[in-house]
Structure 1
């Protein structure tokens, strides 16, 4: 992987307090990027940044901590307002925050199945809040819309191939399975990358030793190995194919629904309705 300097690049990483997210933050900061570290709480985000400073020798000037609980859309919007207020130029948004669906069907205060909201809807809301701001104010040129400008990297999963989006029951009220709920959220995140309004790719970073390992098996690569694949796609020197799906370093075909124009349109309509957000 290239180790060229990323000085001058600003990257927002969701779910950066542990695992692949924290390691991605570490590698990007070591290469000179300004890293916006997101955590579920202020305390968690600040602790992650402090750990980067203490254990990786990262300069405090290269890190900014932000907090939002993705089970609450109002917190996502508040964080987005903070980001655009303090960092008018954003080069990369890494949608990494994720959770395994719980054993029991759980609905957020916003009325959505929790894994669908945390893994997909909150990222959808965040991306389009940032995009709308940058396009309207012209603060980011060419925003997150075209090369060689910014890009979105969605950290998805190979399990998206087993998923299906239940259009009439996305919250899976009638029939719930934690694996099916998780797979649906990952399929939605992968479909999201195919939306032509934003330069985005999806990535399966490999099976890694993270909190999600139990969904895949008993053994995995280190979080740092998974993060290296994320960092590669953040590097402007690496040419990406808009809407593509990558399995680690290889571009491969995603599940067929992920690139169907009708599916992209339906998902955008559904997500807009569920987030009450005008995309």
Structure 2
């Protein structure tokens, strides 16, 4: 890991109060980054920073940011605050994720829960932060995806899966969408499957997993400007591999952007 290359960079990590997001925030701060630590609520963010600083990290490395991703209005508020306070953003780590609930659940914005939290909120956040991410050289986005994207399909006529719902299919669809989004040409982005880790999402994968810190190390490596990346690339832990064919298909990339713009209420 190149500490000098990462030092003094500003990184926004979503879903940073537990699991891979928390460990990513810790590793980045230890390497000299300013970490914009996103939490669902301000209280959860402060508690996470208290735990991190109790471990010996300088509190000045962290800036708490709060937004509930089940409310797109809060995502917009988050983007406005980041852009105002940090006009140059070096890295955005789109990590926040939930397991789709057992029963079909729709947010107040009208979107299926996993699709909104895992993909649409990140799509909106990334789109609104395009300016800060491209204001200096080397800005990049790291999407924390999943190998389960390979099992997925995007239900174009029923993206919220209101007619036929399966929690695993809904979760996989959200991860496929996030992986496809990495190939969007507006910002330089990659996706990474950090491995099966012992986090709240472990039940979707199996009974055993690596530590969250091991998974986070693969994310942090891609945040490092010393790691050269190609837009749309997909990594399985530290190895670059081909994603599902849909993830690099030009027609799918454009179609997903059009659908997402509609679902988040952005002008086309």
Q: Could you say which TM-score interval applies, normalised by the shorter chain?
A: over 0.9
- Aligned residue for 2:165, secondary structure, equals coil
Q: Is the 8 A contact 1:153 1:233 kept in 2?
A: yes
Task: Describe how 1:116-195 pairs up with structure 2 within 5 A.
Answer: 116-131=115-130, 133-134=131-132, 141-142=135-136, 148-195=137-184
Equivalent residues of 1:157, 1:204 under 8 A apart: yes
How far is 1:85 from its partner?
1.2
CA distance in 2, matches of 1:268, 1:8: 33
Q: Which residue of 2 aligns with 1:244?
A: 233
TM superposition shift of 1:3 = 4.3
Q: Deviations over 1:154-207 (max 9, x none)?
A: 000000000000000000000000000000000000000011111000000000
Check conservation: 2:89, 2:132, Cα contact below 8 A: no
Q: Report what 1:145 is aligned to.
A: none
Q: Which runs of 4+ in 1 moved over 6 A?
A: none
Contact in 1 for aligned 2:145/2:179 (Cα 8 Å): yes
Residue 235 of structure 1 is aligned with which of 212, 216, 224? 224
Structure 2's unaligned 5+ residue stretches are none
Question: 1:5·1:31 contact (CA, 8 Å) conserved in 2?
Answer: no
Residue correspondence of structure 1 range 44-123 to structure 2 within 5 A = 44-55=44-55, 57-123=56-122
Quote the Cα distance in structure 1 between the aligned partners of 2:199 and 2:129: 28
What do you get for the CA RMSD once the two structures are aligned?
Answer: 1.2
Q: Secondary structure at the match of 1:122?
A: helix
Aligned 8 A contact 1:92 1:153 in 2: yes
TM-score normalized by structure 2? 0.97
Q: Residues 31-76 of structure 1: CA distance to partner in whole angstroms, max 9, x if unpaired?
A: 0000000000010011111111112x11111100000000000000
- Tell me the distance in 1 between the aligned counterparts of 2:201 and 2:4: 31
Q: Please tell me whether the aligned partners of residues 5 and 32 of structure 1 are also in contact (alpha carbons under 8 angstroms).
A: no
> Matches of 2:194 and 2:2 in 1, distance apart?
17
**Please, what TM-score do these two structures have when normalized by structure 1?**
0.94
